[in-house]
Amino acid sequence: MTNTTINNQAFLAACRREKTPYTPVWLMRQAGRYMEEYRKLRAQYGFLELCKRPELAAEITLTPVERLGVDAAILFADILLILEPMGVGLEYAAGDGPVIHRPVRSAVDVDRLKEFKVDKELSFVIETVKKARASLGGKVPLIGFAGAPFTLASYLIEGGSSRNYVHTKQLFCSDPSAWIRLMQRLSSAVAAYLNAQIAAGAQAVQLFDSWAGCLSPGDYEQFVLPHTRSTIAAITSGVPVIHFSTGTSGLLKSIRAAGGDVIGVDWRVNLDEAWQQVGYDVAIQGNLDPVALFASPKEIRSRVADVLRRASDRPGHIFNLGHGILPETPVENVVAMVEAVHELSAR
């Protein structure tokens, strides 16, 4: 950072809608393939192996804090790790992304999912949280995370990424009782997982509902909202919860109704309009287009200024991208963005 000294409480204060000396910033996928340090590790280890080796996962978690000057670290893990103990055959296939070899397509499949204990089956994640928190030494807070029940259910049902979510929508329309059982099971597992991260040292958590944007408002309210709400309600009291989704500019009031201390929004909606929709009684996170980081530093600075202007200096804004950093992003542009946020928002 150039003109602003990191305040180790700025991020948590913004989550509580308190005044901060500047707008805090962190980035989704801030530990990822755009960084040379990460690429070197990936050349030696598979993705799943990195996740399961706490000393390496903690190292990856910390690297962006030093390199970028961000105001929070986010745990290096993956939203689908919680699905592996359920016995569905999770694999991270090279070039194809995650694959579920035994998709959940019926009530029988739902009932076949294995029960598991988070502290045993996902102990490597908990250990990573402990190591990362200790290594940070209070410099900045540590964010834990999990996939939201709907996004996890979609992966389970589709067997991987999807464009139209045919199998997912078919299940909740044709067998609502099986859908409810699946979502209740996922909701309980996600809450237990996040609470275990919190107990290990995570100071805030983010719930990723990355695929909720495929839903109509009515389907979201009927088939998703109650389960997201129950998940958030079961998270340890007093720990800020960021509720993030993409493609949901038409669902923001329902997203807000599902809960969260901070509502994360993507770049497809103006920040001021989004905040007005969700209400000023919650904080907001976002929302620069990740592709803007391929522009010149001058253009990046201009776009950062526009997002900050829309926040109107109101307490409770956390600067972020509207989704994760893309792998090809020049790291120097990410640094320029972080510096611009701190400089332009200094109070």
Residue 123 has pLDDT above 60, yes or no: yes
Mention every residue, 6+ apart, whose C-beta is less than 8 A from residue 78.
Answer: 47, 51, 98
Q: Can you tell me the distance from the alpha carbon of 164 to that of 167, in angstroms, rounded to the nearest whole number?
A: 9
The catalytic residues are: 29, 33, 42, 78, 155
Q: Can you tell me the distance from the alpha carbon of 106 to that of 104, in angstroms, rounded to the nearest whole number?
A: 6
Residue 200 has pLDDT above 80, yes or no: yes
Residue 116 to residues 55, 84, 228, Cα–Cα distance (Å): 24, 10, 20
- DSSP structural state of residue 25: B
Residue 183 to residues 84, 178, 287, Cα–Cα distance (Å): 16, 9, 29
Average pLDDT of the chain to the nearest whole number: 96
Give pLDDT, residue 58.
98
- DSSP structural state of residue 101: S
pLDDT band at 6 (very low <50, low <70, confident <90, very high): low
Lowest model confidence (mean pLDDT) among 86-100, 258-272, 274-288: 86-100
Q: Can you tell me the distance from the alpha carbon of 340 to that of 323, in angstroms, rounded to the nearest whole number?
A: 19
Give pLDDT, residue 96.
66
Q: Can you tell me the distance from the alpha carbon of 191 to that of 193, in angstroms, rounded to the nearest whole number?
A: 5
Amino acid letter for position 265: V
Residue 287 has pLDDT above 60, yes or no: yes
The residue assigned the tokens 């804090």 is 65
Mention every residue, 6+ apart, whose C-beta is less than 8 A from residue 96.
Answer: 160
What domains sit in the chain, N to C, each tagged with a CATH number? 10-345 (3.20.20.210)
The answer to whether the pTM exceeds 0.75 is yes
Residue 51 has pLDDT above 70, yes or no: yes
